[in-house]
Amino acid sequence: MKATPTVSCPTCGAPVEWTPQNAQRPFCSERCKLIDLGAWASESHAIPGDPLEDELFSGDLPPREH
């Protein structure tokens, strides 16, 4: 029989069994999952980007008149 793979919860570091029955994986709980979601929403977590690519469409349209 194969051993169940275990990973560390990205939020608290607790061991988490990686099984289909664990709906929260890779998190240990709904609480840790929501803490991580909140960090992304508040931009505490971010994926670095290229500032030139972030302004991809900025020069395509004339400026809006207010």
Structural domains in the chain plus CATH codes: 6-45 (3.30.50.10)
> Is 28 labeled as ligand-binding?
yes
Whether 29 contacts 11, CB under 8 Å: no
Does the annotation flag 32 for ligand binding? yes
Question: pLDDT tier at 64 (50, 70, 90 boundaries)?
Answer: low
- Predicted pLDDT of residue 41: 93
How far is the CA of 52 from the CAs of 48, 58, 64, in angstroms?
Answer: 12, 10, 21
Question: For residue 8, how many C-alpha atoms fall within 13 Å in the half-sphere facing its CB?
Answer: 4
Residue-wise pLDDT tens digits, 2-58: 788 999 999 999 999 999 999 999 999 999 999 999 999 998 888 886 665 555 566
pTM: 0.65
User: Which residues does residue 16 pair with via DSSP β-bridges, in sequence order?
Assistant: 7
